[in-house]
Amino acid sequence: MPLRGESCIGITMSVDRATFAAGCFWGVEAAFRTTDGVLNVTVGYTGGGVKNPTYEQVCSDRTGHAEAVLVEFESSKVSYEDLLDLFWAVHDPTTPNRQGPDVGRQYRSAIFYHTPAQRDKAVASKARAEKAGRWAGRRIVTEIVPAQEFYRAEEYHQRYFERRSAANCRVC
């Protein structure tokens, strides 16, 4: 759902939201944060049934939540389709409930759409990704589901790599 904001010079701009789960949220956040047109990236939890979950609860794999990122972006500078392309590039969407050494439903691949238009674009993007064959014939297992309540993760997870001067994540 678009947000309305005012820039520092008084021009109103439209801010859209996108929510993605692609494994450990630290590396996913870093990738989206460096994208032109992205205004903010928040790491957190979505897609589960527990209100205000903690990291420890989500890691227990009993809340149903995924580690996810909420991306706020200016669609006049970066399209939702461009964000989808980045989503496919930053993880392996063929491994159910797993990214690298991280295993559990909290590490699933998912696109949480905010509008019917986002749903349609996500479905089309997934079809293009499957047809491209990048993953050597393995089936893409990415869920495309309606956005649910997004819970901001604890502060020490926000901008994790920036705070630790790490360039990227190859472990999570």
Are 95 and 139 contacting, i.e. CB atoms less than 8 angstroms apart? no
- Residue among 8, 24, 169, 172 flagged as catalytic: 24
**C-alpha of 77 from chain center:** 18
Alpha-carbon gap, residue 172 to 170, rounded angstroms: 6
Burial classification of residue 64, based on how many CB atoms lie within 10 Å of its CB (0-12 exposed, 13-18 middle, 19 or more buried): middle
Tokens representing residue 4 in the block? 């309305």
**Active-site residue, 24 included:** yes
- Find, among 59, 64, 35, the residue nearest to 49 by Cα: 64
Q: Enumerate the active-site residues.
A: 24
